Amino acid sequence: MEPTFTDKILNSSTLAKRIIPCLDVKDGRTVKGVNFINLRDAGDPVELAWQYSQQCADELVFLDISATNEGRKTTLDLVKAVAEQINIPFTIGGGISEIADADALLNAGADKISINSAAVRNPDLIKQLADAFGKQFVVVAVDTRFIDGQNYVHLNGGRLKTDWETFKWVKRAEELGAGEILLTSMDYDGTKNGFDCDLLSEINLNLTIPLIASGGAGNMQHFTDVFQKANVDAALAASVFHYGEISIPDLKKELKRNGICTR
């Protein structure tokens, strides 16, 4: 007998919703404050990554904000150190503009790379990367802002508006071979007022690849909301985790209590 749609939804419920801490790294060190107890060196990304893996984070994202080639080389060493010591998957983003960059990161042990500006400037890069390394390796990060009744893709951390309407760009990225979309709402980022559930929900309905929500996490209820209202596959946050405002084990317990499947 063919399974019904409800059966399929129920059957799928063992795939856990992912919680992803995001770390900004510059010249191989984490920047932005971290406020963890029992941390010998708060700037050491490997130690932080290890702490998060012990707290049952499902994945990690490292965002490389180094401005110089020297800084990027140092980041490559960091990627190796993380891959050597951490037993959960991680993504690295920032400054990837060609196949060679991605190849170096793959060989250093990165599970996925995240591309943003370079993909908007050269959409074919998504296809090239997917062909070369498989689409599961390619995360397309999209920064979006609401202007005059429309959502527009922005570059340079939200400072530069493009002509791409966000829904169109996300679909285009998917067609070109993106394996996952990491969507940051600039209007919500940093507010701690919760994720942009309406936008995420609308985008998610039209996607056939996983969607990671980013921007706006302030408390545990916000995570419950984004999983229940937008049904995203993962939620990413930085400061609420780094400053210990939300502990990942507590968050997972809370999500479970609300009927959301977590590891």
Partner 1 sequence: MKKHSSIGIVNYGAGNIFSLTAALKRQGLRYGMVNRPEELDNYDRIIIPGVGHAAKAMGKLKASGMIDSILQLKKPVLGICLGMQLLTDYSEEGNVDLLKLIPLRTLNFEGRIDLKVPHMGWNTIKQVNESELMKGIPQETYFYFVHSFYIEYNPKFTVASCNYGISFSAIVQNNNFYGVQFHPEKSGDAGELILKNFSTI
Catalytic residues: 24, 143
Neighbours of 115 (CB within 10 A): 25
By the rule CB under 8 A, 206 interacts with partner 1: no
Q: Find the shortest distance in angstroms from Cβ 141 to partner 1.
A: 16
Query: CB of 46: closest distance to partner 1 in angstroms?
Result: 12
Residue 15, phi then psi, degrees to nearest 5: -80, 115
By CB under 8 A, tell whether 21 contacts partner 1: no
> Measuring CA to CA, how many Å separate 244 from each of 26, 52, 70, 81, 238?
21, 11, 32, 24, 10
Quick one: which of 111, 202, 245, 254 contacts partner 1 (CB under 8 A)? 111
The yes or no reply on residue 14 touching partner 1 (CB under 8 A) is yes
209 binds partner 1 (CB under 8 A): yes
Instruction: CB nearer to partner 1: give 185 or 204.
Output: 204
Please tell me what DSSP assigns to residue 38.
T
Compute, in degrees rounded to 10, the torsion defined by CA atoms 115, 116, 119, 120: 180
What string marks each residue from 135 to 174 as x (binds partner 1 by CB under 8 A) or -?
A: xx--------------------------------------
Q: How many CA atoms lie within 13 A of 140 on its CB side?
A: 33
Distance in angstroms (rounded) separating the CA atoms of residues 178 and 118: 13
* 248: nearest Cα among 228, 259, 227, 263: 263
| Category of 99 on φ-ψ map: left (φ > 0), alpha (ψ -120 to 50) or beta | alpha
Tally of CB atoms within 10 A around 1 = 4
Interface segment toward partner 1; rule CB under 8 A; list 9-17, 33-41, 152-160, 215-223 = 9-17
Minimum CB distance to partner 1 smaller for 174 or for 187 = 174
Q: Does 43 bind partner 1 (CB under 8 A)?
A: no
* Minimum CB distance to partner 1 smaller for 122 or for 206: 206
With contacts defined by CB under 8 A, how many residues of the chain interact with partner 1? Answer: 35
Query: Could you say whether residue 104 binds partner 1 (CB under 8 A)?
Result: no
CA angle at 170 for the pair 165 and 171, rounded to the nearest 5°: 105
Contact residues: partner 1, CB under 8 A: 5, 8, 11-12, 14-16, 18, 53, 58, 80, 83-85, 87-89, 106-109, 111, 133-136, 179-180, 207-210, 233-234, 263
